[in-house]
Amino acid sequence: MKIANGLEALELTVNLMGRQTTIYPTLFWDKDSVILVDAGFPGLEPQIKEAIEKTGVSFERLNKVIITHQDIDHIGSLPEILACAQQKVEVLAHEGEKPYIQGDKPLIKAETAKRSKLFETLPEDQRKRLQAAFSNPPKAKVDRTIEDGEELPYCGGIMVIHTPGHTPGHICLYHKASKTLVTGDALTADGGQLSGPNPSATYDLDEANKSVKKLAQFEIDNVICYHGGVLTNDVQEQILQLAL
């Protein structure tokens, strides 16, 4: 879905644990930069490439990937994307997420995920694939760490907002030119309504709720939730209500 010139939410539907789910990575671009925010589940590289091409942007121009946090549905296809890219792709993430993305430390939620009762409902082949993914998660080198309040000089200016809670180094991104907030998993949405982070998937819920208050400081016209999609109606007021 197009948000503004040089900004689209990519819509990717996958079969996860026996049901359809849709995620929304973000694509920024201008004449010098093509930036993908988050890299989907493992095995989604062909769909991500196709979704980028559908925006009218050549996948060959991709030169940066920003990772909001370490969860497997955000880093899953990162190694494949980097491997098939036509040029050097710089990977950016917060310092707090770097060792997990690089595989220096195990993903924070890996053990909990492997013990999930949801796995018991899956066919054996699917269960084994998912458990293997959490046991040996995808990993890639983080080329540059980014920090709270830093303004990335691309695509009209992209501000980094450190929003710990869902994971320790979770970030959101604020696109100044279009007043668009890319939430990662700091916020979710359903049926046009914003909600806070999913409690069952959040590392530190108290910290995550404090991060929502931080988001309320920004002037926001559009929100892209990785889980829930694009919202444009009364989003500022909704965020203020969540921050109370």
Name the phi and psi angles at 182, rounded to 5.
-100, 115
Distance CA(192)–CA(222), nearest Å, equals 12
Residue 78's pLDDT band, with cuts at 50, 70 and 90, is very high
Q: What pLDDT score does 136 carry? A: 80
Instruction: Over range 47-71, report the average pLDDT.
Output: 97
How do 90-94 and 64-66 pair as beta strands?
parallel
Cα 82–Cα 87–Cα 90 angle in degrees, nearest 5: 60
Cα 46–Cα 22–Cα 181 angle in degrees, nearest 5: 100
Mean of all residue pLDDT scores within the chain: 92
List residues bridging with 147 in a β-sheet: none
- Residue pLDDT, tens place only, 164-179: 999 999 999 999 999 9
Distance CA(101)–CA(81), nearest Å, equals 14
Q: Which SS3 state, helix, strand or coil, does residue 45 take?
A: helix
Residue 127's pLDDT band, with cuts at 50, 70 and 90, is low
Residue 3: which of 230, 187, 161 has the closest Cα? 230
Q: What pLDDT score does 130 carry? A: 66
- Do 10 and 23 contact (CB within 8 A), yes or no? no
Higher pLDDT, 144 or 115: 144
